[in-house]
Amino acid sequence: MADDPYKILGVKKEASADEIRSAYRKLAKKHHPDLNPGNKAAEETFKSISGAYDLLSDAEKRGKYDRGEIDASGAERPQAQSWRQYAEAGPGERYAYSGAGGGADFEDLFGNIFNQRPRGPAKGRDRQYSLEVGFLEAVSGATRRITLPDGGTLDVKIPPGTEEGDILRLRGKGDPGAKGGPDGDALIEIHIAPHKFYRRLGRNIHMEVPVSMKEAVLGAKITLPTPAGDVAMTIRPGTESGTEMRLRGRGVPAHGKHEAGDLHVKLNVVIGPADAALKTFLEGWEQPGFNPREGLK
């Protein structure tokens, strides 16, 4: 019999759905087979974590478990008759079958068993997984292969513009259906790793770019990396540090009904190493009437 799912995830019985999801994500990242190759203990722990989350993330299943109607594996628990019920029952009632309509003798019981209609096809259970992808994979799209707890693999196609927390559904990749029913689905929750200089806001991408004092004063043409490849950008003479520029269509690429986003570039002027020539020039350079701190008064 499976262990208590609340204990497996380390949450209280009163935990909210968000608390359960957060606990699952933390444990899944730690024990995922892809991060622990060849570690059977981690693989078994991951199976337990996935099973516990599968039960507690389903409100109906969680309610049945809390009421004692099913066990931690999802199987129905038999309704046992107490000793007091047995002692107080009459001789003809002690061995009666108790159903929704009251007592029934053996004849009625076996008649119900052989005459009841068989259950029809049932869809298999969905399976839930967590996958971390790179920033650029989420922006531009990619295909990633994940390893399942049973050793199998799934190829997950990540659409361009995928966002943090998106759930990708792979139909028919869950548990097998019963009696000819459809197979369940695999639900892949996406988590995006941060990038060293890109930030994403909706369909737009933001980045900060350092420029030299010479480039800012005299103007220049520089090359910028973008998710779609390098692009040339012109810096106007006299550009101030903190100036923001926008490159249209260079953010998250267009996909489906979504238009392409923009790339927002913030220019930061850096001095760099100051040689003797620069120091000599600045010592004799005057800017009459200019006070960079005028706005602080």
- CATH code at 63? 1.10.287.110
Does 228 reside within a domain? yes
Residue where one domain finishes, among candidates 144, 160, 192: 192
Neighbours of 263 (CB within 10 A): 24
Residue where one domain finishes, among candidates 158, 192, 226: 192
Residues 172 and 207 in one domain: no
CA dihedral 134, 137, 142, 147 (to 10 degrees): 10
Domain extent at residue 133: 127-192
Residue-wise pLDDT tens digits, 134-164: 999 999 999 999 888 778 888 999 999 999 8
Beta bridge partners of 156: 144
Indicate yes or no: pTM above 0.75: no
Does 139 reside within a domain? yes
- Work out the pLDDT band at 78, boundaries 50, 70, 90: low
Q: What is the pLDDT of residue 100?
A: 40
- Work out the pLDDT band at 104, boundaries 50, 70, 90: very low
Q: What is the pLDDT of residue 190?
A: 92
Q: What is the pLDDT of residue 244?
A: 95
- CATH code at 253? 2.60.260.20
Provide the mean pLDDT of the chain: 83
Beta bridge partners of 210: 268
∠ CA 222-207-235, rounded to 5°: 30
Residue-wise pLDDT tens digits, 57-73: 888 889 888 888 888 87
Residues 208 and 277 in one domain: yes
Cα separation values, 260 from 26, 251, 252, 282, Å: 33, 6, 6, 45
154's enclosing H/E stretch is strand 153-158
Residue-wise pLDDT tens digits, 10-21: 999 999 988 998
Does 104 reside within a domain? no
Residues 16 and 68 in one domain: yes
Neighbours of 250 (CB within 10 A): 22
> From the centroid of its chain, how far is CA 219?
44
Number of domains observed in the structure of the chain: 3
With both helix axes pointing from N to C terminus, report the angle between 17-31 and 40-56 in degrees, rounded to the nearest 10: 170
- Work out the pLDDT band at 101, boundaries 50, 70, 90: very low
Q: What is the pLDDT of residue 83?
A: 42
Residues 221 and 268 in one domain: yes
Q: Which residue has the higher pLDDT, 85 or 280?
A: 280
User: How do strand 127-133 and strand 186-192 relate by DSSP bridges?
Assistant: parallel
